[in-house]
Amino acid sequence: MKDVYITRIAKFLPNEPVDNEQMEEKLGIINGKSSKARRIVLRNNQIKTRYYAIDANGNITHNNAQLTKEAIELLCDDTFSTKDIELLSCGTSSPDQILPSHASMVHGFLKNGNLEVNSPSGACCSGMNALKYGFLAIKAGQVSNAVCTGSERTSTWMKSDIFENEVEHLKELEDNPILAFNKEFLRWMLSDGSGAVLLESEPKGIALKIEWMEGYSYAFEMETCMYAGADKLENGHLKPWSEYPAEDWANKSLFAMKQDVKLLGENILGKGVDSLKLAMNKHNITTADFDYYLPHISSYYFKENLYEELKRQGVEIPWEKWFMNLSKVGNVGAASIFVMLEELVSSGQLKKGDKVLLHVPESARFSYSYAYLTVC
């Protein structure tokens, strides 16, 4: 079995950072009224700036596949070009279309010759699943390099016109229609961007060796928490868009991303720490065995609570090991862990022998992914 190293890492965040007061101007006002939920959500998540693939005039500047292409090209130079890529593995929760796959569309923009493509579906863990596919392919000797990505372009999913049909429909039913909080919540949480890594079987320069990766799902016991392209029924089941008449697709905003906030708050941390302990026990490590802890969290609201949950379950991680950049770049979903790791690598803090633990939760139906890295 081959060793696998992250030898290059890049991120692409489109346009200028958008501060909290600019958000509604970019995304649009629903039903002519400024959102009451916005300030509540922003106060809790403590995100100060984020990025949208929308320019100052409201025009869309990139789709998801184009964002991903930009990050991949930033990996390249005179010694490694896109034509040298042997495997392209791209994860996202916000593909530009149902078919073709996200990785196929990225490949189409790269125009770099024949290669294998892989498109893991899902939410935040899709980026880690893309990384794991490349990791295992190199480890097995199938390829000698792989480019793995995580990306999101959710801003267009959150624009006001997506919800206008539903609001107009609600006006027919009641005098004061208010968009359900489970839909509006995510408008003030998500950001656009992409991250990419080059994996190779030999270390080059400052490299990060991937020691192991693990993934866990609690879907067997948990109902859906975050979803798109469906509506959640009273019994907790999802009814997919394909079972609704076409007029309901807009009237119910079926393609909008939605979050069951109560279910999220009650379970995301407990299951997360439980799965972390499973991974650590399997590989016989303790919190003393890593120098940097990179948790992808959607909101700073969860930061203190995560620390307390870790402490409660006997795996307390000292604050000095934590590295996060949520307040500056926002929640970039599948790209977040790539963007976070890129910032840590670029900071110059890492030294040979340092250990890094990546921790990525996905609230969709409570999945968790982990990676353990050594700086070479």
Strand partners for 33: 30
Residue 193's pLDDT is 98
Strand partners for 35: none
Which residues in the chain land under pLDDT 70?
A: 164-183
Q: Where are the domains of the chain?
A: 5-206, 211-375
* SS3 at position 109: helix
* SS3 at position 229: coil
Q: Which fold has domain 211-375?
A: Peroxisomal Thiolase; Chain A, domain 1 (3.40.47)
Residue 178's pLDDT is 47
Q: What are phi and psi of 193, to 5 degrees?
A: 160, 175
Residue 164's pLDDT is 66
Thinking of the domain 5-206, which architecture would CATH place it in? Answer: 3-Layer(aba) Sandwich (3.40)
Q: Copy the structure tokens of residue 267.
A: 């379970």
Residue among 135, 68, 58, 72 at smallest CA distance from 95: 68
* SS3 at position 321: helix
Total H helices, total E strands in the chain: 12, 15
Q: Copy the structure tokens of residue 4.
A: 């696998």
Residue 172's pLDDT is 55
Q: How many residues can be counted in the chain?
A: 376
Q: Yes or no: say if 23 and 38 are a contact pair by the CB < 8 Å rule.
A: yes
Residue 177's pLDDT is 46
Per-state percent for the chain, helix, strand, coil, to nearest 5: 40, 25, 40
Please tell me the pTM assigned to this model.
0.94
Q: Yes or no: say if 131 and 162 are a contact pair by the CB < 8 Å rule.
A: no
Residue 179's pLDDT is 52
Residue 337's pLDDT is 98
Q: Yes or no: say if 196 and 16 are a contact pair by the CB < 8 Å rule.
A: no
| Side chain identity, residue 244 | Y
Residue 158's pLDDT is 85
* SS3 at position 7: strand
Residue 186's pLDDT is 85
For 67-80, the pLDDT digits (tens) are 999 999 999 999 99
User: End-to-end distance of the chain based on CA atoms, in angstroms?
Assistant: 19
Strand partners for 259: 226
For the chain, the C-alpha Rg in angstroms (whole number) is: 20
